[in-house]
Chains A and B, each alone.
Chain A
Amino acid sequence: MQGYESVLVLDPETSDEAQNELIEKYKSLVGTNGGQVLHHAVWGRRKLAYEVEKRQYGIYHLLYLDKTPQALKAMETSFRIDDAVIKWLSVAVEDVSKEFEAFEKLKTEGSIAQTLTE
């Protein structure tokens, strides 16, 4: 199923409750715009490769949406307004579930770099 994958980077000082609240907010926002959040994954706190507005760390979340452009647009408008979201990236994907599984695999098993041989 075609859809979108959005990576959000949240402020490292966002509490767990605030994070859940935000995600729930985006889920309902997508819902009211005719879309659906198919999966949600938490990548957790990571060190940023470069400073973003004096922040060294970021909390990574991933949202997988079905292919509803209006819903994505509404969600991105909200990202711009929310101060807790410091970075985000949305990508169109061919198969949402496959991408989600690939991410879960990356998260649990680590990089695929070693499995690749010449």
Chain B
Amino acid sequence: MARGRSTSNRRRGLGNRIIIPRRKTSALNKLTEIPYKDVELLRGYITERGRILPRRITGNTAATQRALRQAIKRARNIGLLSFSEGFVNQD
């Protein structure tokens, strides 16, 4: 009984969920390697806050996502991308 109720609650909850556009495949999958110096390209795969978008949204294959993660981290290391954005120091 309790289980049935919780399912129906969750279903109702789904109606209010914010829909994130999902791509079924990603153009990056065609690349053999991902250039870490191409900031403009990498910007398309991070959020406004600077976080890496998950695979379920970008549609990357596992191998591509690993390469992308590597590229983004390299770009962050040399100051091409930020580690986080929108943080305001309140002191």
> Is the CB–CB distance between B78 and A87 below 8 Å?
yes
Count chain B residues whose beta carbon lies closer than 8 angstroms to a beta carbon of A: 24
Q: Is the interface of A mostly helix, strand, loop or mixed?
A: strand
Name the residue of chain A whose CB is nearest to the CB of B70: A91
A-B contact count (CB 8 A): 53
- Identify which of B28, B40, B79 contacts A111 (C-beta below 8 A): B40
- State in angstroms the CA–CA spacing of A87 and B81 once bound together: 13
> Is the CB–CB distance between A111 and B41 below 8 Å?
yes
Which residues of chain A are within 8 angstroms of B41 by Cβ–Cβ distance?
A: 111-113, 116
Q: Which of B1-9, B10-18, B30-38 contacts A (4 or more CB under 8 A)?
A: B30-38
- State in angstroms the CA–CA spacing of A88 and B74 once bound together: 10
- Identify which of A46, A60, A87 contacts B77 (C-beta below 8 A): A87
For the A-B complex with A49-B81, A58-B79, A118-B23 known, give 7 more contacts whose Cβ atoms are closer than 8 Å.
Answer: A7-B78, A46-B80, A49-B79, A87-B78, A106-B35, A106-B38, A116-B27
Residues of chain B touching chain A, judged by Cβ–Cβ distance below 8 Å, are 23, 25-28, 30-31, 35-41, 44, 74, 76-83
